């Protein structure tokens, strides 16, 4: 196959490209330039798209003896990921930019160009597995549960999966990948993993959002609507947050309070007891299936609401006519916010995903 290897400059994508070469594929490496800030340099292990990362990717490609290119996707990244991130926070939601990047950049914009240029598939260093069955191609969890990245790949469609290649899916651990990289002479063998939001390299999400969204004083209220404090911008708060609330009125029981809801229209933040973070039901109108769609409107599954959260057994009710997918977990979910992504599984197989629009608390309001 003709393989386009997406090379971030990290150890995983370098080893994935190397394995594609070893498998006899015709491989070309590409690094995506996602920022127009020409002087962007890596800070610690933050980010994944800096000048240093591009140089590391080029060195790896040279060692592997494959052609290498840098493609400028900065405009589309700004429109589809950064602007979406800001818009979601303005709407009082908690977005996951890595999900949007996979959905709209790596497996949409990149894959579209790859297919136009005659490539058969895009290769990445994600830890996930593809299984070809009589019912079609399936996306599964990786062998290494600690590194499994199937959650952030839950946005992929059947068509995208058909043109995707994950050489690391069956690798037992990241240590094996690093050892292989060192044996191959790849200089990124011990390079730290990237983390946090790549377009906010200093990690100050609140400050970054303040510059984009601005500040506006508003009320912090409890579940009854009583004012218990004030804030300088609802965008700075996320569901489940405890620190930085600076409440002027203590709770009657003296216990800490947590952010339960952000209401951007009224610029209000709702707080309450920790137990009120328990969510009994979630639903959304924007969903996709990673392969075949469920054959029944109602089906059993497990639901995962964060990249490293434990999956929870649940029942799903899919009503395409009404435009709703509702999931009821067997046990309450903790601190779920609108805007998060819920990924549904059948064992290790990814069924699909949806963006959470609505949550129902497991704890009723008491006055």
Compute the distance between CA of residue 31 and CA of residue 112 in angstroms, rounded to an integer: 15
pLDDT for the residue numbered 366: 57
Compute the distance between CA of residue 319 and CA of residue 211 in angstroms, rounded to an integer: 40
Q: Is the CB of residue 77 less than 8 Å from the CB of residue 101?
A: yes
What percent of the chain shows pLDDT beyond 70?
95
37: pLDDT strictly greater than 70: no
- pLDDT digit string (tens) for 249-259? 888 888 899 99
**Is position 198 annotated as part of the catalytic site?**
yes
b/e code 84-110 from CB counts within 10 Å (16+ = b) = bbeebbeebbbbbbbbbbbbbbbbbbb
Query: Can you read off the two tokens belonging to residue 62?
Result: 């040279």
172: pLDDT strictly greater than 60: yes
- Ordered by where they begin, the domains of the chain are 2-184 (3.40.50.620), 215-272 (2.30.30.280), 278-361 (2.40.30.10)
pLDDT for the residue numbered 43: 47
118: pLDDT strictly greater than 50: yes
**Position 210 confidence tier, pLDDT thresholds 50, 70, 90:** confident
- pLDDT digit string (tens) for 17-33? 999 999 999 999 999 98
Sorted by sequence, the CB contacts under 8 Å of residue 176 that are 6+ apart come out as: none
CA 350 to chain centre: 15
* Set 49, 98, 198, 301: catalytic member: 198
Q: Is the CB of residue 344 less than 8 Å from the CB of residue 328?
A: no
pLDDT for the residue numbered 171: 93
341: pLDDT strictly greater than 70: yes
Mean pLDDT for the chain overall: 89
Helices 11-22 and 51-64 cross at an angle (nearest 10°) of 20
Please name every residue paired with 281 in a beta bridge, in sequence order, or none if there are none: 360
Compute the distance between CA of residue 17 and CA of residue 27 in angstroms, rounded to an integer: 7
Residue with tokens 């930085």: 244
* Set 48, 49, 98, 101: catalytic member: 101
Sorted by sequence, the CB contacts under 8 Å of residue 97 that are 6+ apart come out as: 81, 82, 84, 85, 197, 198, 199
Decide: helix, strand or coil at residue 31: strand
- pLDDT digit string (tens) for 254-290? 889 999 988 888 889 999 999 999 999 999 999 999 9
195: pLDDT strictly greater than 70: no
Burial of 212 (0-12, 13-18, 19+ CB in 10 A): middle
pLDDT for the residue numbered 317: 96
């Amino acid at each position: 196959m003709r393989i386009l290897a997406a090379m971030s400059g990290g150890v995983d994508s370098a080893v994935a490209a190397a394995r594609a070469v070893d498998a006899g594929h015709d491989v070309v490496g590409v690094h995506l330039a996602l920022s127009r800030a020409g002087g962007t340099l890596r800070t610690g292990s933050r980010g994944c798209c800096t000048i240093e990362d591009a140089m590391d990717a080029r060195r790896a490609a040279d060692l592997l003896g494959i052609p290498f290119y840098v493609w400028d996707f900065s405009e589309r990244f700004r429109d589809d990921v950064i602007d979406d991130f800001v818009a979601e926070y303005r709407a009082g939601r908690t977005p996951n930019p890595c999900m949007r990047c996979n959905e709209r950049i790596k497996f949409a914009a990149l894959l579209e160009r790859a297919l136009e240029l005659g490539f058969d598939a895009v290769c990445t260093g994600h830890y996930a597995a593809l299984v070809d069955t009589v019912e079609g191609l399936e996306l599964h969890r990786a062998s290494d549960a600690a590194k499994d990245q199937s959650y952030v790949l839950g946005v992929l469609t059947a068509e995208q999966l058909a043109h995707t290649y994950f050489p690391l899916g069956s690798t037992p651990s990241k240590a094996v990948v690093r050892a292989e990289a060192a044996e191959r002479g790849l200089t990124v063998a011990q390079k730290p993993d990237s983390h946090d939001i790549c377009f906010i390299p200093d990690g100050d999400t609140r400050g970054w959002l303040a510059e984009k969204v601005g500040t506006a004083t508003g009320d912090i209220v409890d579940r009854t609507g009583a004012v218990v404090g004030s804030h300088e911008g609802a965008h700075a708060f996320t569901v489940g947050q405890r620190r930085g609330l600076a409440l002027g009125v203590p709770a009657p029981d003296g216990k800490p309070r947590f952010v339960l809801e952000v209401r951007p229209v009224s610029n209000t933040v709702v707080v309450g007891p920790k137990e009120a973070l328990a969510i009994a039901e979630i639903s959304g109108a924007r969903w996709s299936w990673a392969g075949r769609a469920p054959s029944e409107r109602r089906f059993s599954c497990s639901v995962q609401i964060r990249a490293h959260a434990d999956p929870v057994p649940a029942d799903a009710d899919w009503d395409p006519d009404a435009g709703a997918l509702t999931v009821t977990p067997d046990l309450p979910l903790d601190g779920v916010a609108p805007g998060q992504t819920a990924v549904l599984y059948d064992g290790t197989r990814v069924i699909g995903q949806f963006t959470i629009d609505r949550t129902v608390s497991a704890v009723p309001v008491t006055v």
